[in-house]
Amino acid sequence: AKLRATVAPPDAPVVLYTGRLHPQKGITAIFAAAERVLARRPDTRFLLAGGTDSRESTQMVHDLSRRYAHLLPRVKLLGKLPRQQLGLLHRISDVALVPSLYEPFGYTAIEAMSSGLPLVATRAGGPEEIVAHGETGLLVPVHPTSQGELREVDVEAFAAAQLSLLEDRERARRMGEAGQRRVLELFTVEKMVADNLALYQRLLEAPGASVSTPVHQEAAS
């Protein structure tokens, strides 16, 4: 209750991002989409929990804070927090964001889903495997920029997806519950270890498969 009182009014919907504040994580899109969401739902609060890890990241956060100063304090930068406090943030939030430009797996997505939060994430690698679109969350596109090599989140789609969940709490609740079930079915440590062992077994049993002898054993023989 104390944490909730410090970060958001009692009845305000809360949108949460946890992770590094790095350009690759889509932080710019969070601010740009927040501006659109707050224009329609000014009671919403955005919480960003994470730190920077480079001069580039620190400069990005500084620039965004200046550019979107009019959104503060409805968009709060909480810094890097202990895991216990992250768990509390998950419990007081309504929607979690994973707007990475590319993400090989997405542990933060699994953490949020295990806490019962619906996700708004990008179609950018790992999140596509984790989030069942329309069932445990919503996926939005990532497009190449005009330069071709860089990528950027579709901000309009990102904001619209957030609004659709904030304005339909029952749908968001169902997605959160479905996300918890999906984590238990697919992403527990035991499940992932079992899947890897099954994969190795299939590879060993495949035609032409062989197990190489370690070099140190060959040298000893």
Is 116 a member of any domain?
yes
pLDDT at 148: 64
> pLDDT value at position 193?
47
Q: What per-residue confidence (pLDDT) applies to 215?
A: 47
Q: Confidence band (pLDDT; 50, 70, 90) for 70?
A: very high
Q: Does pLDDT of 1 surpass 90?
A: no
Residue 110: give its domain's CATH number.
3.40.50.2000
pLDDT digits (tens, 9 = 90+) for 128-163: 989 999 999 999 999 987 766 678 999 999 999 999
Residue with token string 């579709």: 154
Q: Is residue 56 part of a domain?
A: yes
Statement: residue 217 has pLDDT above 70: no
* 211 domain-assigned: no
Res 191: pLDDT: 53
Q: What is the pTM of this model?
A: 0.82
Q: Cα 183 to chain center, whole Å?
A: 14
pLDDT over 90, % of the chain:
68
In a domain, 214, yes or no: no
pLDDT band at 125 (very low <50, low <70, confident <90, very high): confident
Whether 83 maps to a domain, the answer reads: yes
Residue 145 in domain: yes
Supply the pLDDT for residue 144: 85
Q: What is the mean pLDDT of the chain?
A: 87
More confident residue, 102 or 48: 48
Strand partners, 17: 48
Residue 205 lies in a domain: no
Q: How many domains does the chain have?
A: 1
154 CB contacts (<8 Å, ≥6 apart)? 140, 141, 142, 143
Cβ partners under 8 Å of residue 27, min gap 6: 17, 21, 48, 60, 61, 64, 99
Q: Which domain holds residue 37?
A: 2-187
Asked if residue 193 is part of any domain, the answer here is no
Q: What is the pLDDT of residues 7-44, one digit of tens each?
A: 888 889 999 999 999 999 999 999 999 999 999 999 99
